[in-house]
Structure 1
Amino acid sequence: MWLRSLVVALLSQLALAGTADAKGPFGSLKIGNWIGGAFSNDETGAFSHCAATSPYANGVILVVSQNSAGTWLLAFASPGYSFNKGENAAIDVTFDGQEQARLYATAYQPNMLTAVMPLNVVRTFQKASLMVATAGRTVLNFDLTSTGPVIAALANCVTRVKADGLDKAGDFTKGAAKPAMANDKQGALPAKPARTGTFTGTGFVASPNGHIVTNSHVIDSCTGDIKGNLAGEAAMVLRVVSSDATNDLALLQAPATASFKDFARIRDRSMHSGDSVVAIGFPLHGYLSSDLTVTTGIVSSLSGFRNHTGRLQISAAIQAGNSGGPLFDMSGQVAGVVVAKLNALRMIKETGQLTENINFAIKTGALRDFLDNSVVRYQTAEPKGELKAAEIAANARAYTMLISCIGTEQADAKR
């Protein structure tokens, strides 16, 4: 009975840092030794997350969760743990003796370490049979034979609760997508090979405490350390704080020893169609200049692809590697986060037309909500005066970073 009580308590605690404890479970999830369900925020009553947990013979309780924003979390808990709140730890995980990743965990409760799981790690966790977790001299083995349907059920839980509400929560194992299995039929087309290499993007320092904003898709494929560096300076290892796959935003943390001369301020007013903008980043790193690249354009539309109201359409040229970089107004305030460009080849196939200068940025409303939810002390500013693009670029040099990592990505994955 004590174990079940502890498990329920751990499930309710597994939410992002800074949130209140949760109530639940609502509905049910039971697969093998895994149990779980949906949970609500204790203060607001709103849906918080779906979580499942399983105890292991090594004395550790594994907890997996997806929150309402789409972020996946993995926690290691034990009644024997005694961490200081806010204590950090690097946990190296190896799946089936082959694929490896490093997770950066934080103790939000004294008996549990919680880490964000990038999507590529979630996919591996779902299909693997064995996970070996190493932290310092501690090595723990976890049987993952049931995690395929567990991940599918948790994703189903989040989708159903967001659509129907907590009061209609039921058995989340029903209607969950079956995990993909290897196709053993003769004549089946082979899967596209995974691409392994160095992945790069852009980020910017968004607080005086060294918080760095980028796109979640920039770090999704990372299996090794995520590094960041200002132009011409040495790289530092960054820690993942939070990630929002829905809005394609991620928050990284620089080491406590890092020092930045400045950080970005976020525009506190909406943009208008026709407003001039400046995009700054590190496109096609390794092929183009290793220095910051600056492009200019205008806000072409206040909505993105297929009328996405959380996006701006911009004409400033961007390429692979610009993702996660700041989009500035002409007063030098961040007016958006560069996120994507229209796929010209796809549009030729669908419309017969060659599209040019159709690119997109995440609006500051979504950015500010994300930072608020991540408890970041960012600053806003009114657009005052007008600077030249060269002046904006000179100022941005102090806080615009190249983000890089070693990773593995499916050939058809979006970047």
Structure 2
Amino acid sequence: MPKRIQQALMSLVCLGCITVAAQPQPSVTPTPPPSIAPLVTESERQQVSFGTGFSIGNGFVLTAHHVVKNLNKVLVGSVQTGKWVSSDVVKIDAVLDLALIKTSLELPPLQLAKSDKVPMGLEISVIGFPQPRIQGLTPKITQGIINGYPNLKQQAEDRGYFQISADISQGNSGGPLIGPDGSVIGMVQRKLSSQRVLERTQEWTVNVGFALRSSHILGFLEGTAATVQIKPLETNNLLRPFQIFEKVNTGVVSIIARTEPANR
């Protein structure tokens, strides 16, 4: 691999997990729901990862694989549901960075639209749980546009990633990329590391994120028990940000994954 390409790839960082060895909690740590034990304690020395997921119906939730990777306790929940429940990872794809989770929570499904009809410059929204240790475990919405592709071949063949301008942070990974009509057209997974770019180019680059296109998500779900609702993307149906949030936020959940001793 050419050195310049390798350096560029090194600038991409996973968004989802704030994965840390146990340390004293910052003073800004949000108070978790009463049903959840402390995520990290000095005695357990366990790891914790925060991310976002979204419901596709029948108890199935999608998130990014790196949010749950190598962690044996996966909790799914939200402030809206008022609880977090232990859930099972039933399928993963490490290459696509996808994970399918089965949960007992009853969640309204989000509809998916095929990503082959997504034009450049389309308005998009991201709903998720960025920086939960600082911003808390309530969903946040940011907006932007589809502002590019890693290369023209990916654009033409409906594969790979959208480049997006919406502001995203650690904790957003696994969350839905939402079109202007409220349908899901991808999954937020990564962003460009501004610090690494600054070190190499002396320029500060902001709001360069990447979302896996929904064509990959639909292929990943083939052969599973999950049934997904697919609808045409309505590019002329421009919902306002508060309307998009009201339409889909109850199907967006927080993912908290951690290590736990096997004898528990």
Normalised to the residue count of structure 2, the TM-score between the two structures is 0.74
Alpha-carbon contact 2:146-2:164 (below 8 Å) kept: yes
Where does residue 74 of structure 2 map in the other structure?
Answer: 226
Deviation at 1:269, TM superposition (A): 4.6
> Is 2:126 the counterpart of 1:279?
yes
Change in Cα spacing, 1:350 to 1:375, as seen in structure 2 (3 Å) is: farther
Where does residue 145 of structure 2 map in the other structure?
Answer: 298
Where does residue 86 of structure 1 map in the other structure?
Answer: none
Among candidates 52, 60, 82, match of residue 211 of structure 1: 60
Letter in 1 for 2:170: A
Distance 1:303 1:317 in 2: 18
Alpha-carbon contact 2:137-2:254 (below 8 Å) kept: no
Letter in 1 for 2:258: I
> Is 2:87 the counterpart of 1:235?
no
Deviation at 1:291, TM superposition (A): 1.1
Among candidates 96, 104, 110, match of residue 247 of structure 1: 96
Where does residue 106 of structure 2 map in the other structure?
Answer: 259
For the residue of structure 2 that corresponds to 1:381, the secondary structure is coil
> Equivalences for 1:297-316 in 2 at 5 Å?
297-303=144-150, 309-316=159-166
Distance 1:203 1:354 in 2: 30
Alpha-carbon contact 2:67-2:257 (below 8 Å) kept: no
> Is 2:253 the counterpart of 1:397?
no
Distance 2:203 2:259 in 1: 34
Alpha-carbon contact 1:269-1:382 (below 8 Å) kept: no
For the residue of structure 1 that corresponds to 2:67, the secondary structure is helix
For the residue of structure 2 that corresponds to 1:286, the secondary structure is helix
Distance 1:363 1:201 in 2: 18
Distance 1:369 1:230 in 2: 27
Distance 2:224 2:212 in 1: 17
The structure with more strand, counted as a fraction of residues: 1
Alpha-carbon contact 2:127-2:249 (below 8 Å) kept: no
Deviation at 1:302, TM superposition (A): 3.0
For the residue of structure 1 that corresponds to 2:250, the secondary structure is coil
Distance 2:132 2:250 in 1: 19
Q: Which runs of 5+ in 2 are unaligned?
A: 1-44
Where does residue 7 of structure 2 map in the other structure?
Answer: none
Alpha-carbon contact 2:121-2:147 (below 8 Å) kept: yes
Deviation at 1:372, TM superposition (A): 1.2
Give the structure, 1 or 2, with the largest relative contact order (CA under 8 Å, sep 6 or more). Answer: 2
Alpha-carbon contact 1:230-1:397 (below 8 Å) kept: no
Deviation at 1:375, TM superposition (A): 4.2
> Equivalences for 1:312-351 in 2 at 5 Å?
312-351=162-201
Q: Which runs of 5+ in 1 are unaligned?
A: 1-194, 409-415
Q: For 1:72-104, what per-residue CA distance to the aligned partner results, in whole angstroms no more than 9, with x for missing partners?
A: xxxxxxxxxxxxxxxxxxxxxxxxxxxxxxxxx
> Is 2:218 the counterpart of 1:368?
yes
Distance 1:371 1:307 in 2: 21
Alpha-carbon contact 1:199-1:407 (below 8 Å) kept: no
Where does residue 204 of structure 2 map in the other structure?
Answer: 354
Normalised to the residue count of structure 1, the TM-score between the two structures is 0.48
Alpha-carbon contact 1:277-1:327 (below 8 Å) kept: yes
Alpha-carbon contact 2:150-2:162 (below 8 Å) kept: yes
> Is 2:240 the counterpart of 1:388?
yes
Distance 2:187 2:98 in 1: 9
C-alpha RMSD of matched pairs (Å): 2.1
Percentage of identical aligned residues: 27
4+ residue segments displaced more than 3 Å: 306-309
Alpha-carbon contact 2:78-2:138 (below 8 Å) kept: no
